[in-house]
Each structure stands twice: as structure tokens, then as C-alpha cells.
């Protein structure tokens, strides 16, 4: 019997939410005795799930349900307050856009730095450099500072680097929603290759149609607690059943919950330098 790629057992995570902040030295001076009060927000409550090797696994739920928190705990970015997480295999997290990038450096230097942080050697970077830039379709802008890249251009670069790193498990947290339709389809095209190679992919998204299309199973999170855990199509049906009536039809629910896309991610749409 093969061991699972990811085993999450009884994981809980809370954050302290401040309700009052002194934003300036003047406020601190005028109100020296005022203290910031906090509220405990339980982002995850006793969540358990097992993801098998080679499985495409989706996580769905409304905003604030704990999807990103769970993925960051699996990726080692957050530490769980309680419970255990076991990951078997090399992990490539693609969770937050721009993490590991220096906006004051050009794409060429950022590829070298980011690739090194993800474990690529200098020789591997030299061999894969053209493939990274080519997949991102940023050949004309490789010497442009990232400060002047659009969000979509940064997405192209980050995903291109992430898939060039040797990995067994890929974590994707709805960042693909930033890209334009053409690049999204290009990214989805890599999923077939990952499946053929036996890679494990954990996919968090508000795009329910894509989760249903690509994922074998899915988990529904609600208010930090695990709900339905079953075949992706069944979990999506359960999730849609919990949505308001006008949001339950295919496509409407996704638009209702997904973040507003950034401006066009076309490589020709560079922002003016500051």
C-alpha cells in the first residue's frame, strides 16, 4: 500500500485580529493609555484530509473558509496550532504572487534568485532559462524591472519557474485567476503532463468548473471546518446547493466568489515606471 502524498490530521489554526491600532506617533501621544483589543479568529478547526500520490485534489469554499490557510500550513508557510501535517515528496508551492521576487531587479535576475531559492542549481538554471522565459512569453521584457510588470506578467513568470523545479507535489492557490484566458489555458495544459508523470496537485480555486474538470476528489471547507469530501463533481454539487438560489447555476457561483481579475495580463501592457 502506497503512503499518501499529504496527510493532515486534526489541524487547527487561529489568528488574533486587532480591533484598534495606533497608526501614528501623534495618536500614541494623544492616547497613551489606549490599548489595542484583539479577537481570536479560528481559521481552521480540526481539519483532517489525506491526499494520495498522483491525485489531483481540489479545495473549495467561500472567501474566509480557510482554504488558503490550509494550503499555507501544508506548504510550511504557517505553523498549525494543533494537529499534524505529513508531506511525502518534494514540494513546489505556488501560493502567493510575487513571493521571492525583488521588484527592483529585472526578470533575468529574479529567475536566477527565485530558481535558486526553489532548489535549482546554477547549471540547471542555465539549461532551463530559455524554457522559463519562453513559457512565460516574456522574451521582450526579460531585462525589464519587475516593478513595471503587470500582475499577469508576474504570474506568467512565477508559474513558469514553479513548473521547472523538480517536484512531486504542486500547491496552487487560485493565483491563476490573475492571468488572462489564454495563459490560464496554457497552464491547464500542463496538468495533463503532470498527471501522466504521476505528480500530485492540490488546487484551491473559486473556479468550480475547473476544479470539477481537473480534480479527482475535492474538499469543501466552511467556516474553517471540513465539510463534504468526495469525488470533485459531488462536492461541487454540494457546494452549489449551499449557495443562494441565484448563485447556484453553473458559472454564476464562480463569478460570485472569485476575486476581481487584474487589468489585462498581456505582455504588451507594461505599467509606466514610477
CA distances (Å), origin 181, targets 23, 24, 152:
40, 43, 11
* pLDDT, tens digit (0-9, with 9 covering 90-100), for 209-265: 999 999 999 999 999 999 999 999 999 999 998 765 444 444 434 433 444 333 333
Asked if residue 79 lies in contact with residue 55, where contact means CB atoms within 8 angstroms, the answer is no
- Distance separating alpha carbons of residues 135 and 138, to the nearest angstrom: 8
CB under 8 Å to 201, separation ≥6 — which residues? 55, 56, 57, 169, 170, 172, 191, 194, 214
Residue 151 domain-assigned (yes or no): yes
Residue 195 domain-assigned (yes or no): yes
Residue 161 domain-assigned (yes or no): yes
Domain with 14 in it: 6-257
CATH classification of the domain holding 179: 3.40.50.300
Asked if residue 157 lies in contact with residue 138, where contact means CB atoms within 8 angstroms, the answer is yes
Residue 262 domain-assigned (yes or no): no
- Distance separating alpha carbons of residues 36 and 18, to the nearest angstrom: 6
* pLDDT, tens digit (0-9, with 9 covering 90-100), for 95-123: 876 677 899 999 999 999 988 988 889 99
Number of structural domains the chain divides into? 1
* pLDDT, tens digit (0-9, with 9 covering 90-100), for 77-95: 899 999 999 999 999 888 8
Q: What is the 3-state secondary structure (H, E, C) of the chain?
A: CCCCCEEEEEEEEEEEEECCCCCCHHHHHHCCCCCCCEEEEEEEEEEEEEECCCCEEEEECCCCCCHHHHHHHHCCCCCCCEEEEEECCCEEEECCCCCCCCCCCEHHHHHHHHHHHCCCCHHHHHHHHHHHHHHHCCHHHCCCEHHHCCHHHHHHHHHHHHCCCCCCEEEEECHHHHCCHHHHHHHHHHHHHHHHCCCEEEEECCCHHHHHHHCCEEEEEECCEEEEEEEHHHHHHHHHHHCCHHHCCCCHHHHHHCCCCCCCCCCCCCCCCC
pLDDT of residue 38: 72
pLDDT of residue 179: 64
Residue 48 domain-assigned (yes or no): yes
Residue 149 domain-assigned (yes or no): yes
Residue 269 domain-assigned (yes or no): no
Which range among 49-63, 103-117, 171-185 shows the weakest confidence by mean pLDDT? 171-185
126: phi then psi, degrees, rounded to nearest 5: -65, -40
pTM: 0.77
| Sheet with 6-18, side-by-side order of all strands | 38-51, 6-18, 82-87
Residue 217 domain-assigned (yes or no): yes
- Distance separating alpha carbons of residues 199 and 54, to the nearest angstrom: 5
Amino acid at each position: 500500500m502506497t503512503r499518501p502524498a499529504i496527510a493532515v490530521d486534526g489541524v487547527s489554526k487561529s489568528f488574533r485580529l486587532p480591533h484598534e491600532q495606533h497608526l501614528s506617533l501623534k495618536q500614541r501621544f494623544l492616547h497613551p493609555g489606549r490599548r489595542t483589543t484583539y479577537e481570536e479568529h479560528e481559521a481552521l478547526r480540526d481539519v483532517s484530509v489525506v491526499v494520495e500520490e498522483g491525485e489531483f485534489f481540489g479545495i473549495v469554499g467561500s472567501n474566509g473558509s480557510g482554504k488558503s490557510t490550509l494550503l499555507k500550513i501544508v506548504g510550511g508557510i504557517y505553523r498549525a496550532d494543533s494537529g499534524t501535517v505529513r508531506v511525502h515528496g518534494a514540494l513546489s508551492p505556488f501560493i502567493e504572487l510575487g513571493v521571492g521576487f525583488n521588484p527592483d531587479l529585472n526578470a533575468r535576475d529574479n529567475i536566477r534568485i527565485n530558481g535558486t531559492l526553489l532548489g535549482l542549481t546554477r547549471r540547471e538554471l542555465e539549461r532551463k532559462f530559455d524554457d522559463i522565459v519562453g513559457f512565460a512569453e516574456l522574451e521582450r521584457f526579460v531585462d525589464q524591472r519587475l516593478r513595471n510588470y503587470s500582475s499577469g506578467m508576474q504570474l506568467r513568470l512565477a508559474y513558469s519557474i514553479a513548473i521547472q523545479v523538480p517536484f512531486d507535489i504542486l500547491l496552487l492557490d487560485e493565483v491563476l485567476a490573475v492571468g488572462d484566458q489564454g495563459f490560464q489555458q496554457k497552464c491547464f495544459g500542463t496538468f495533463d503532463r503532470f498527471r501522466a508523470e504521476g505528480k500530485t496537485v492540490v488546487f484551491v480555486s473559486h473556479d468550480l468548473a475547473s476544479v470539477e474538470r481537473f480534480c479527482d476528489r475535492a474538499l469543501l471547507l466552511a467556516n474553517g471546518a471540513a465539510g463534504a469530501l468526495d469525488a470533485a463533481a459531488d462536492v461541487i454539487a454540494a457546494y452549489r446547493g449551499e449557495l443562494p438560489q441565484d448563485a447556484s447555476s453553473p458559472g454564476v457561483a464562480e463569478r460570485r466568489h472569485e476575486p476581481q481579475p487584474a487589468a489585462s495580463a498581456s505582455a504588451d501592457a507594461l505599467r509606466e515606471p514610477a
